[in-house]
Amino acid sequence: MSRAGAWRAAILVLAFTGCGGDEEFAREAVEGTISFDGKPMEGGVVAFVPTEGAGPGAGGEIEAGRFSIAGSEGPTPGPHLVTVT
């Protein structure tokens, strides 16, 4: 991924995550692996955006095909649109 692409993805994640005020939402830790054409992605960003319009989004970096988002920064329970860039 290019630097410009990484910055765009980071800005997208921050836009959906917001700047605080979401203490009333429960968050969950998530981790996993991401591959493309059968090979682990070297790097990138994974973003979780709630599909039901409630709660903050979340995102994290992909390194060597893996990502991990701590519970304090993770997505809220429920369905999400997941994007990988």
- pLDDT of amino acid 49: 93
Q: Taking residues 4-25, report their average pLDDT.
A: 56
Q: What is the pLDDT of residue 1?
A: 53
Select from 69, 62, 53 the least CA-distant residue to 85. 62
Q: Is the pTM of this model over 0.95?
A: no
Q: In the structure, what pLDDT confidence band is assigned to residue 71 with cuts at 50, 70 and 90?
A: very high
User: What is the longest distance spanned by two Cα atoms in the chain?
Assistant: 39
Let me know how long the chain is.
Answer: 85
pLDDT band at 53 (very low <50, low <70, confident <90, very high): confident
